[in-house]
Structure 1
Amino acid sequence: MQWLSSILLTLQVISSLLVIVLVLLQQGKGADMGAAFGSGSAGSVFGSAGAANFLSRATKWAAIVFFVTTGGLAWVAHHPAGSPIESGIMQGFSAPAKEAAPAGSAVPDVGGGSAVPSVPAAPSSGAAPAAAVPAAPAAPSAGDASVPSVPAAPAGKK
């Protein structure tokens, strides 16, 4: 299906350029842009009215080709060749092999094959040992001399 996308994209670029050129060649009411390219003369190959009919018909068919290729490109983009299961992001990914730590290593084995270490479980037999958890310092009382006090703001000015 990749070749179809390339062909449709090539046809769309060609038809879009053709539409641009054909629209610029047509003679408008006041623009006269077509006269700059030589299509304004009455003695052309197509005759006096033939050029206008030819240019309008060619523009119509170039626009039809442009819109058909746009629809085809949209269809190709939303209907890939393979099924979504076979063409996923992780297709062909293999997990790295888990290496065992050396015998005297201080690195614990976290298990589960995850690269993120897990949190160790809390002991299930009551409270934690006293040495493992330090005691929180007591809150100072209002009359404690070791805690400096903050001076009061002067009254009067705001």
Structure 2
Amino acid sequence: MNTLFLAVVVVQVLAALTIIGLVLLQHGKGADMGAAFGSGASGSLFGATGSSNFLSKSTAVAAAVFFVSTLGLAFIGNHHVSQTGGVMENVQAPAAASVPSSAPAAPAAPAEVAKPGDSSNQIPK
């Protein structure tokens, strides 16, 4: 899932940079006002009217890709495995720090004292 998320982020960043570049290449509606007062026809690669149509259509395609990738990121971000409990329920307590019980512990049985003649309690040499 992490690879899919990274791929969608890369597509979204590329689409955003494309939109920025295409918008900066276009000239606004007021830019053609100078042509009406005698500055002549604007010389462009695609002709006088073809330039804005090509750039506006490619901007619309880049914007659609950007919005689809944004929706994809929202879906990926919200589509995760839900937990049924709190965060701290899965934490285990350390073995040394046990919780004391409310009942008192039973006293330990006294150790047997070895008798001098008993060979079962002697340590072998």
Q: TM-score range by the shorter chain?
A: 0.5 to 0.7
Task: Give the direction of change, closer, same or farther, for the CA distance of 1:99–1:16 in structure 2 (3 Å limit).
Answer: closer
> Identity, % of aligned pairs?
47
User: TM-score of the superposition, structure 2-length normalised?
Assistant: 0.61
- Count of residues in Structure 1 that have an aligned counterpart in Structure 2: 93
Is structure 2 residue 56 aligned with structure 1 residue 53? no
Alignment of 1:26-41 (within 5 A): 26-30=26-30
Matched, 1:79 2:79: yes
What do residues 85-111 of structure 1 show as CA deviations (whole Å, max 9, x unaligned)? 39x7448632101358xxxxxxxxx71
| Counterpart amino acid of residue 15 in structure 1 | A
1:18 match: 18
- Give the secondary-structure state (helix, strand or coil) at the position aligned to 2:29: coil
Structure 1: runs of 5 or more not aligned = 33-40, 101-109, 113-117, 119-158
The root-mean-square deviation of aligned C-alpha atoms, in Å, is 2.9
- The 5 Å alignment of 1:1-158 reads 1-30=1-30, 42-80=42-80, 83-85=81-83, 89-90=87-88, 93-98=91-96, 111-112=100-101
Three-state SS of the structure 2 residue aligned to 1:30 is helix
Which segments of structure 1 move beyond 6 Å, counting only runs of 4 or more? none
Give TM-score, length-normalised by structure 1: 0.49
Relative distance call for 1:64 and 1:91 in structure 2 (3 A) is: farther
Q: Rate the CA distance shift 1:30–1:42 in 2: closer, same or farther, 3 A.
A: closer
Tell me the distance in 1 between the aligned counterparts of 2:71 and 2:7.
13
